[in-house]
Structure 1
Amino acid sequence: MDPLSQFLTGPRAQAAFALRVVMDPPFAIDVQDGAALTVIVAVSGQAWIAVEGAAPRSLGLGQAATVRGPAPYLVTDTPGRPPTVVIGAGQSCRTPAGEHLELTFSQGMRTWGNSPDGGTVLLIGTYQSTAAAGQLVTSALPTLAVFTEEEIDAGLLTLLERELTHPRLGQESALDRVLDLLLLHLVRVCVDRTESRVPSWAAGTRDPVVARALALLHQEPEAPWTVAELALRSHVSRATMAARFRTAVGQPPMAYLTTWRLALAADRLASSTATTAVIAEEVGYSNAFAFSTAFSRVYGVSPSGYRRSQGHDARPAAAVPGS
């Protein structure tokens, strides 16, 4: 199982926040919700998206964007406009002065904005979790990626808009699945772009030998892997495996395996009541002490501390390959 499939079948994909945003100028939304990943689709009008350290990007009709968190970003009608709305944790909505806007901006079921007939309509899907395996997946995306109308499957956008605007039985589950499919599509597009050929797990899937090795590591993270065993199972020499894996992924196979094991362990710690010893065994550590030492070194907190924080305060910047 590759990291993207792991992400979309894990607890991170459940009950993603989805909303139809309807705005008339002037508007400037300062999004500080700390979400791991947000997908934004423009179905009418135009908006600008700005993240720190980069020039604002325009989002026009039929285009989509992904924004990697947890850093804040701006959605505005024109670049440089000061914020008029601040979105905080739990999707709270206030003015910069702190005045609540939840009721003022409510425009019906899953619709929000400053006008019921605003000229700019955005469909927004937010993956709130900062789970480590999710960050491993989104490392294939830049902080801000914009996708053209030609790159997007129009059928997915139509389905997403229909689910948001026509509530029916099972709407939340349907929205989760549509967002998953849209995210899968956008990550694939980003990986396939020629300018995005950077070392990462995603780039590794372009090399058939490395792709085979990645599949083995993802399917059996608990196995006692060595570079020699990976090479044998992939039908190449040890030297070839080591060289091609490092070139494609940006780190040696065993270093990547450690990152993947600890990412899976972080997810298990945040989403289950299994003991540290059980989780250690599940991801390939011989004992809880060795696991705890490795986990603390990478995440800066013990496994029990990470579990208590539910992942909110223990995101390892250096633990995600290709980020």
Structure 2
Amino acid sequence: MDPLSQFLTGPRAQSAFTLRVVMDPPFAIDVQDEAALTVIVAVRGNAWISAEGSPPRSLGPGQAATVRGPAPYMVADAPGRLPTVVIDPGQSCRTPAGEHLEPTMAQGVRTWGSSPDGRVVLLIGTYQTAAAAGLLVTAALPALAVFDENEADPVLLKLLEHELTHTDLGQESALDRTLDLLLLQLVRVSARRAEGVLPSWAAGTRDPIVAGALVLLHQEPAEPWTVAELARRAHVSRATMAARFHTAVGQPPMAYLTAWRLALAADRLAASLATTAVIAAEVGYSNAFTFSAAFSRVYGVSPTSYRRSAQNTDPLADRVHPN
């Protein structure tokens, strides 16, 4: 199971927050929800999206965008506008001065905005989970990515719009699965793009030798892998495996394996009552002491402290980048 599959179906997967947004210009929505990842689809009109470290990008009908969290981003009818609405964690909304807007912005079931028939219509799906595997997923994406009509599957976009505008049995599950499929497609497109690809596990799937190694690491993380063994399985030299993996993924194979093992462990700690020793063995550590030392070095807290915080309050996953 690769990081994207783990992110979508793992033990910490949560229902995405999905909404149809209808707005009349002028508007500027300052999104500070600290979500892990957001998918935005333009249905009608044009919007501008600004994210930290990325220039404003225009989004028109039939286009989609992904925004990597937890940094804030802005959605507006024109670049440079001052915020008119602020979205806080938990998806509560207010004016910049602090006045609550939930009663005035509600426009029906799963519809929100300044007008029931706004000139700009967006579909927004927000993955609020802080699963550690999700950090490996978001690391494969730029802060802001825009996908043209030929890259965003129009069938999925229409299905997402249909589910948001029609109340029926199993609507939440249908929305989750449709959004998951759309995100899966957009991550694949991002990994295939010839320019601007970030080194990551997703980019690594473009190289057949590296892709084979990643499959082994993802499917059998507890195995005592070495670069030499990965190279033997791929029928290449150790030097070739090490060089191609580092170029595609951005780190050596064993460093990536450590990040993957610890991400799996972090999600297991937060979602189960299994002992540290059991989880250590599941992800490939010979004893709990070695595992605890490695976990503390990367996450800044012991496995026990991480579990306590993750199960009682918000997860600590935003404190560390597994890469």
Give me the TM-score of the superposition, normalised by structure 2: 0.95
Alpha-carbon distance in 1 for matches of 2:317, 2:202: 24
Give yes or no for the alignment of 1:109 onto 2:136: no
What is the Cα-based RMSD across aligned positions, in Å?
1.4
Deviations 1:199-249 (A, max 9, x none): 221221111111111100100101111112212222222222222222222
CA contact (8 A) 2:217 2:257 kept: yes
Alpha-carbon distance in 1 for matches of 2:31, 2:245: 38
Contiguous gaps of at least 5 residues in structure 1 = none
Alpha-carbon distance in 1 for matches of 2:302, 2:320: 16
Give yes or no for the alignment of 1:139 onto 2:139: yes
Report the equivalent of 1:65.
65
Give yes or no for the alignment of 1:204 onto 2:213: no
Alpha-carbon distance in 2 for matches of 1:197, 1:99: 41
Alpha-carbon distance in 1 for matches of 2:76, 2:308: 36
Alignment of 1:18-29 (within 5 A): 18-29=18-29
- 2:62 is paired with a residue of what secondary structure? coil
CA contact (8 A) 2:39 2:67 kept: yes
Shift of 1:48: 0.9
Alignment of 1:96-245 (within 5 A): 96-245=96-245
CA contact (8 A) 2:142 2:198 kept: no
The one of 306, 316, 319 equivalent to 2:322 is: 319
Deviations 1:69-127 (A, max 9, x none): 00111111111111111111111111111111111111111000011011100000000
CA contact (8 A) 1:23 1:119 kept: yes
- 2:221 is paired with a residue of what secondary structure? coil
Alpha-carbon distance in 2 for matches of 1:240, 1:55: 37
Alpha-carbon distance in 2 for matches of 1:103, 1:153: 34
Shift of 1:316: 4.8
Alignment of 1:242-253 (within 5 A): 242-253=242-253
Deviations 1:259-298 (A, max 9, x none): 1000111111122222211111110111111111101111
Cα pair distance change 1:21/1:81, threshold 3 Å: same
- 2:117 is paired with a residue of what secondary structure? coil
- 1:81 is paired with a residue of what secondary structure? coil
Cα pair distance change 1:154/1:315, threshold 3 Å: same
Paired AA for residue 271 in structure 1: A
Paired AA for residue 122 in structure 1: L
Alpha-carbon distance in 2 for matches of 1:205, 1:314: 25
- 2:75 is paired with a residue of what secondary structure? strand
Alignment of 1:296-307 (within 5 A): 296-307=296-307
Percent identical? 77
- 106-115 vs 301-310, greater mean Cα deviation: 301-310
CA contact (8 A) 1:301 1:314 kept: no
Give yes or no for the alignment of 1:41 onto 2:41: yes
Shift of 1:53: 3.1
- 134-143 vs 234-243, greater mean Cα deviation: 234-243
Query: Number of residues paired by the alignment?
Result: 320
Give me the TM-score of the superposition, normalised by structure 1: 0.95
